[in-house]
Amino acid sequence: MKFRKKQIWPCVFFLTLFLSTAFIETAWSKDFVVVIDAGHGGKDPGAVGKSSKEKDINLKVALKLGNLIKKNCKDVKVVYTREKDVFIALNRRAEIANNAKADLFISIHTNAVPKPRQPKGASTWTLGLARSEANLDVAKRENAVILYESDYKTRYAGFDPKSSESYIIFEFMQDKYMSQSVHLASLIQKHFKSTSKRVDQGVHQAEFLVLRATAMPSVLVELGFISTIEEERYLSTEQGTSSLASSIYQAFMQYKKEHDARFEETKEGVKNTPPTKTEQQQIEKPKEGGTIFKIQILTSSTALNANDKRFKGLKGVDNYKEGGIYKYTYGASPDYNEIVRTKNKIAADFKDAFIVAFKNNEKINISTAIQEFKKKNK
């Protein structure tokens, strides 16, 4: 998959930094966590070549990369989204990373283009807007994975991976990890070129669902083109997959070294950092008559008590009634970006939560609401 650099959808799951001294000391001593995501798997083969499948290539490189890190970095914890040929939903992959409180997320894929083109080389992507049709096509192909999920329309709030209109949502995303993601992507490309002698297809940006909800620097790697005969041969060999894994590992080591240096520099200063506002204080108060975005977390046929265990400790839960069903929401803001960030914070507890919009206390079409938000914030 090609990719310039990725901006993040509701991709900003914030890792909360509690400022108590005890917690900070524990945080400083915790292992660096890297989540390695082997793209596709199980019923989803990914791109298919003449004699190989993307899912198998991705897994080989992911496992080899993880083994290199585990062997040489005792202070790093490696977490895989999959270690065998199984299907994992896209949002579940990000969820695994967020639950692990990962410091880095690396998603491994293999590219493909229609014949008769025979391109060569590797590319690395970050979350963001695709600035060309070619980049958008790459995102569409990778995002089409959700079509294997029976409830994808609900889970991804009506997102259609094949429709260009659905990608408008990414225009509002602001990735707080953008600079780190791009830096890592650049390091990976440097080592693909120097270590593996690969053609450098560059660092790109596109709207990948697998990156949108990760709460840490994240990249998506395209190892090469399975649709190119010469590339497929290389990608199918032990030497090829080992060399590619080594390149990513070398880039990871350089990134980690820089991360550790910055960490030591700021270690003493963090204790004096003033407390941040609470989540509810950060949410802007809605203006009367304007569009309000909320997060729908669950539904019930009967009214629920404010302390119901299904709310999992959330305070300030609201509800509205539709079709005889009570629908419970959390958060309220005219700022779509803010409500996306709030949604990402609670995603681990409310996996099927999605964003809804209201105007004058009436529920309105979410796509229309997002388009209005876009016009007002150009």
pLDDT at 14: 32
pLDDT at 246: 98
- pLDDT, tens digit, 9 for 90 and up, residues 3-49: 443 343 333 333 333 333 333 333 334 589 999 999 999 999 999 99
pLDDT at 377: 78
Which residue in 97, 112, 100, 110 sits closest to 40, CA to CA? 110
Choice between 170 and 261, residue whose per-residue pLDDT is larger = 261
How far apart CA 183 and CA 255 sit, in angstroms, is 8
**374 in helix, strand or coil?**
helix
% pLDDT > 70, the chain = 80
Q: Answer yes or no: is pLDDT of 324 > 50.
A: yes
How far apart CA 182 and CA 282 sit, in angstroms, is 28
pLDDT at 254: 93
Q: How confident is the model at residue 162 (pLDDT cuts 50, 70, 90)?
A: confident
In CATH terms, the fold of domain 21-269 is Aminopeptidase (3.40.630)
Q: Answer yes or no: is pLDDT of 287 > 60.
A: no
How far apart CA 89 and CA 147 sit, in angstroms, is 10
Backbone angles phi, psi at 256, to 5 degrees: -65, -40
Mean pLDDT of 188-202: 94
Task: Report residue 301 CA to chain centroid gap.
Answer: 33
Tokens found for residue 87: 């299907």
DSSP letter, residue 41 = B
- pLDDT, tens digit, 9 for 90 and up, residues 232-285: 999 999 999 999 999 999 999 999 998 887 766 555 444 434 334 443 433 344
- pLDDT, tens digit, 9 for 90 and up, residues 122-140: 999 998 776 667 777 887 8
Q: What are the boundaries of each domain within the chain?
A: 21-269, 279-376
pTM of the model: 0.62
DSSP letter, residue 284 = P
Choice between 301 and 336, residue whose per-residue pLDDT is larger = 336
**CATH (residue range 279-376):** 3.30.70.1070
According to DSSP, the β-strands at 104-111 and 32-38 are parallel
